[in-house]
């Protein structure tokens, strides 16, 4: 499979290492210093693009791939206010857009566990909800896309919850996400349900970037012959 890497930082290099190890070819590496090279690529040059750049450039990169009929697997977070536009463009151009806030298989199992636990806890109003995410100092967006997905899973289970807030005391209809940037580790996400007498806690802690990168490569392998707006739930069925 011929892969275009968009974003060649630590994650891009890890994806490259794993992709080559699985027998794939990296046909282009697009980064800040050669961003214009993406425009010159066509669907005949690549089977899929893997986009892990930054919030400022992700939307434009994705739209370019969709317009050029290059399937794109995106893991960049912090740009999701424009996701609806990408989904519409995918339909218009009969393209392929795969998005996940986190490509780790373990994290996606955690998402499902989080939803199940939220459904169990929703009737028990004596428990307050606490969510926390810790990331390395280089992470630019806050809260993390993973933390937002976790909060959305909780909101779906609680009729009275409508939105999330970051690093502030929540109102009755809000779920708070508390973010910390202090660790060298790739990411830790925790959900707690706390009452006066006890607490229930689930945590996912990543030990390295490899799990995220491998999931992105597997997603690229899976999506290369598919159309539409797709995500981890589609792949993991």
Measured in residues, the chain has a length of 237
Cα torsion angle, 174, 179, 185, 186, sign: positive
In the chain, CATH 3.30.360.10 sits at 105-206
CB-based burial, 78-113: b 16+ in 10 Å, e otherwise? bbbeeeeebeeebeebebbbbbbbbbbbebbebbee
Give the 3-state secondary structure of residue 88.
helix
Instruction: Give me the catalytic one of 68, 135, 161, 204.
Output: 135
State pLDDT tens for residues 181-211.
Answer: 987 777 899 999 999 999 999 999 998 889 9
Fold of 105-206: Dihydrodipicolinate Reductase; domain 2 (3.30.360)
Instruction: Give me the catalytic one of 10, 83, 115, 139.
Output: 139
| 10 carries an active-site annotation | no
Question: Which portions of the chain are predicted below pLDDT 50?
Answer: none
CATH code that applies to domain 2-99+210-235 = 3.40.50.720
| 139 carries an active-site annotation | yes
84, 42 in Cβ contact below 8 A?
no
What is residue 139's predicted lDDT score, i.e. its pLDDT? 78
Q: Label residue 170 left, alpha or beta by phi (over 0 means left) and psi (-120 to 50 means alpha).
A: beta
In the chain, CATH 3.40.50.720 sits at 2-99+210-235
State pLDDT tens for residues 34-57.
Answer: 999 999 999 999 999 999 999 999
């Amino acid at each position: 499979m011929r892969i275009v890497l968009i974003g060649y930082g630590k994650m891009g290099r890890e994806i490259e290492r794993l992709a080559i190890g699985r027998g794939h070819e990296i046909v282009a590496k697009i980064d800040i210093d050669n961003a214009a090279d993406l425009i010159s690529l066509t669907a005949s040059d690549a089977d899929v693009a893997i986009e892990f750049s930054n919030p400022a450039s992700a939307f434009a990169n994705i739209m370019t791939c969709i317009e050029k009929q290059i399937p794109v697997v995106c893991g960049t977070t912090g740009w999701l206010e424009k996701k609806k536009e990408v989904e519409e463009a995918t339909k218009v151009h009969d393209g392929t857009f795969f998005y996940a806030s986190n490509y780790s298989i373990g994290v996606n199992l955690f998402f499902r566990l989080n939803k199940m636990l939220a459904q169990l806890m929703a009737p028990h109003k004596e428990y307050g909800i606490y969510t926390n995410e810790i990331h390395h100092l280089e992470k630019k967006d806050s809260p993390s896309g993973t933390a937002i997905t976790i909060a959305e899973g909780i909101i779906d289970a609680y009729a009275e919850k409508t939105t999330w807030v970051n690093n502030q005391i929540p109102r009755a209809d809000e779920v708070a996400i508390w973010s910390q940037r202090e660790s060298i580790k790739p990411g830790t996400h925790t959900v707690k349900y706390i009452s006066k007498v006890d607490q229930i806690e689930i945590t996912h802690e990543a030990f390295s970037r490899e799990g995220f990168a491998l999931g992105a490569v597997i997603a690229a392998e899976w999506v290369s012959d598919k159309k539409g707006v797709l995500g981890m739930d589609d792949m993991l069925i």
